[in-house]
């Protein structure tokens, strides 16, 4: 079991380019697993964690409803935003500057073969990260992701999640709003959930700019502890 995870900080990178890169890494791991099975080889499978910010983009998961995108192509162009239908779970979400996006491309055979546990660990890494800023974040039953003030009229989502897995290899991941422009969420029904607000770390901390790099470091620390991973 290879618990080493290669961390790559991609900076600000186009969504489609990053998606293509994820697919490339994902396929390479799958190909290795198939080779191991067919040839009874024992080749070690690698793991990756991509950290990235995207220019303005909306993505719709495979089970999502296009009606949750509230703007047309012309309006998207005016907002300098792109739109893609993609192959993860979940509905529609927004990515943009000031949002920390993490894409773990892991062979869960190296860790544990339980997708439910995998999603809960991703949420827990975010919950522990936000706790370092004095925020009590939590899960909302039946709604993947990380929320504040669950069960109250003020419930608001701070981190969206959507993943894909095949033969225990994962891709896609989580998007944590740090300094994101929340106005872009007005153009969608986030995750297809009506009547729920969206927030960001800087809003919760009184509109002060938060260091994305600092949040990244905290998230990595909690990720490595939960997954017992060694970053390389």
Active site residues: 191
**Residue 90 known to bind ligand:** yes
Rounded to whole angstroms, how far apart are CA atoms 125 and 85?
27
Rounded to whole angstroms, how far apart are CA atoms 23 and 190?
25
**Residue 125 known to bind ligand:** no
Contact 175, 100 (CB under 8 A): yes
**Residue 174 known to bind ligand:** yes
**Residue 106 known to bind ligand:** no
**Residue 160 known to bind ligand:** yes
**Residue 175 known to bind ligand:** yes
**Residue 134 known to bind ligand:** no
Rounded to whole angstroms, how far apart are CA atoms 96 and 212?
13
**Residue 89 known to bind ligand:** yes
**Residue 59 known to bind ligand:** no
**Residue 171 known to bind ligand:** no
Q: Residues annotated in the binding site for substrate, as ranges?
A: 88-95, 160-162, 173-175
Binding residues: 88-95, 160-162, 173-175
């Amino acid at each position: 079991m290879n618990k080493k995870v290669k961390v790559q900080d991609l900076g600000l990178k186009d969504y489609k380019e990053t998606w293509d890169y994820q697919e490339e890494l994902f396929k390479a791991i799958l190909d290795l697993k198939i080779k191991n099975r067919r040839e009874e080889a024992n080749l070690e499978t690698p793991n990756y964690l991509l950290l990235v910010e995207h220019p303005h983009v909306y993505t719709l998961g495979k089970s999502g409803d296009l009606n949750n995108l509230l703007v047309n192509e012309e309006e998207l162009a005016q907002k300098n935003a792109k739109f893609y239908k993609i192959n993860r779970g979940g509905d529609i979400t927004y990515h943009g500057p000031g949002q920390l996006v993490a894409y773990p491309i892991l062979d869960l055979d190296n860790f544990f073969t339980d997708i439910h546990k995998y999603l809960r660990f991703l949420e827990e890494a975010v919950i522990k990260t936000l706790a370092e800023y004095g925020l009590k974040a939590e899960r909302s039953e039946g709604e993947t992701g990380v929320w504040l003030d669950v069960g109250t009229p003020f419930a608001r989502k701070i981190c969206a999640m959507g993943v894909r897995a095949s033969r225990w290899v994962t891709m896609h991941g989580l998007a944590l709003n740090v300094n994101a422009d929340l106005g872009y969420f007005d153009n969608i029904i986030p995750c297809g959930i009506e009547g729920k607000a969206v927030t960001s770390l800087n809003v919760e901390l009184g509109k002060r700019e938060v260091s994305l790099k600092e949040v990244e470091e905290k998230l990595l620390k909690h990720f490595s502890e939960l997954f017992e991973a060694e970053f390389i």
